[in-house]
Every structure is written in C-alpha cells, then in structure tokens.
Amino acid sequence: MQAGKFADASRVALESAGDLRVDCYVRASLPGPLVETVDAVVGQLERLHEREQLASYRVTDWPPERHIGGDREAATRDDLVAEFEDWARRHGYSLEPAFRRRERPASYGWGTCDGHEQVRVPLVALAVYDAAGDELRAVVPYTERPGTADQRTHSVREWLRSVDPDGDVSAAHVSDHDGTAVLEGRQ
C-alpha cells in the first residue's frame, strides 16, 4: 500500500499500512442490527490483515470508565480517551463530536457520585499504532480543522475506504443524528 493513500484520503500521515496495528474499540452491548455493522468492520480489518496491509488488529470492548475493584494497573476509558485527546491536540485535530466530555451530576442514578467528568465514546473507534512499538499514529473518528466553517469529521468507514478502496464496508453507516460521523456497530 502506498503511503500517499492514507494522507490523501484521511489526512492522517501514515507511512505504511503493513507496519500498523489497529485496536478497534466497541461498546459492550448493542442491538442486533448494529452487530452486523461491526461484523462488516471486523471483516474488513481481517481482510486487510490477510493481505498484509495491517500487521495486526484486535477488537475489544471499551474499558470501564474508572478503576473498579483492585485492578489499578488496567487502563480505564478515561486513560484511553486522554491518550487519544493528546494525539488529537498534538496534530491540531479534535475528537469531538464523536467523543464528548461532560460533568456528571453529584447525584446520578442510584445513590451519589463524586460529580466527576463523564466521557461519551463512539460506538466504534479505531486506534492505529505503529506495529513495532506502541506509538499512537491515528484515532478515528477525528475532526480536522475543528471550530471552523470547513471542519470535517473523518469516520471509521472513510478510513477503511482510504486504506482499502476495493473493500466492502457497505454494512457500515454513518450516524447522522447529533451530527456525529461515527461508525455504529459491535462484534
């Protein structure tokens, strides 16, 4: 795969797809029709791996928001999103509207909470890493030129099409409600 394909299609500068690992994060429980959508994404990631366009990929549920119980070593959703936001900030991108932060009220649901910030994540997101290490190379979806009249949100579907224009992501669709360009689905 040519390096220019990524840069032209998604504006995320990536050198060689064969040197990349993709972590696909999905929400834990979704209705049946959305499962088919994620299956299409996973199928395309598998095809890219089989063709040696990706060194590896994995599909996993979003981690819990905060540490629960004794496992303080495991990354939380907040840790992961902070890493993603750092990548976006360094490259002049934004993760909104697909990722959103909001203050959770002190009294939330059953009982009380500490009023911490809550992160809303997309149903599906891709984290693209250098296969040789753990350098985060891209997060999809992301928004280019945030806060301007010509801002553009790049979706998972667009990224997959840019990597493999002949691939079939027809089962994948972009959410138009609330203006969020994200791929919906779950394995």
In a domain, 138, yes or no: yes
In a domain, 148, yes or no: yes
Summarize pLDDT for 8-18 with one digit per residue, the tens.
334 444 455 67
Locate all alpha helices (DSSP H) within the chain, ordered by sequence: 3-10, 32-50, 77-91, 156-163
Position 82 pLDDT exceeds 80: yes
| Range(s) of the domain holding residue 45 | 3-179
Mean pLDDT of 162-178: 54
Confidence of residue 127 (pLDDT cuts 50, 70, 90): very high
- State the total domains in the chain: 1
Position 143 pLDDT exceeds 50: yes
**pLDDT value of position 16:** 59
Q: In sequence order, which residues have a C-beta less than 8 Å from that of residue 174 and are 6 or more positions away?
A: 155, 157, 181, 182, 183
Position 146 pLDDT exceeds 70: yes
In a domain, 186, yes or no: no
Question: Which amino acid appears at position 6 of this protein?
Answer: F
**pLDDT value of position 163:** 81
- Residues 130, 137: Cα–Cα separation, whole Å: 7
User: 162: burial class by Cβ within 10 Å (0-12, 13-18, 19+)?
Assistant: buried
* Extended strands (E) in 89-168: 100-103, 117-120, 124-130, 136-140, 142-144, 152-154
Summarize pLDDT for 90-105 with one digit per residue, the tens.
999 999 999 998 886 6
In a domain, 65, yes or no: yes
Confidence of residue 132 (pLDDT cuts 50, 70, 90): confident
Summarize pLDDT for 50-71 with one digit per residue, the tens.
988 889 999 999 998 876 665 5
Summarize pLDDT for 70-81 with one digit per residue, the tens.
556 678 999 999
- What is the residue-averaged pLDDT of the chain? 77
**pLDDT value of position 26:** 94
In a domain, 187, yes or no: no
In a domain, 184, yes or no: no
Mean pLDDT of 117-142: 91
Mean pLDDT of 121-137: 91
In a domain, 116, yes or no: yes
**pLDDT value of position 183:** 36
In a domain, 112, yes or no: yes
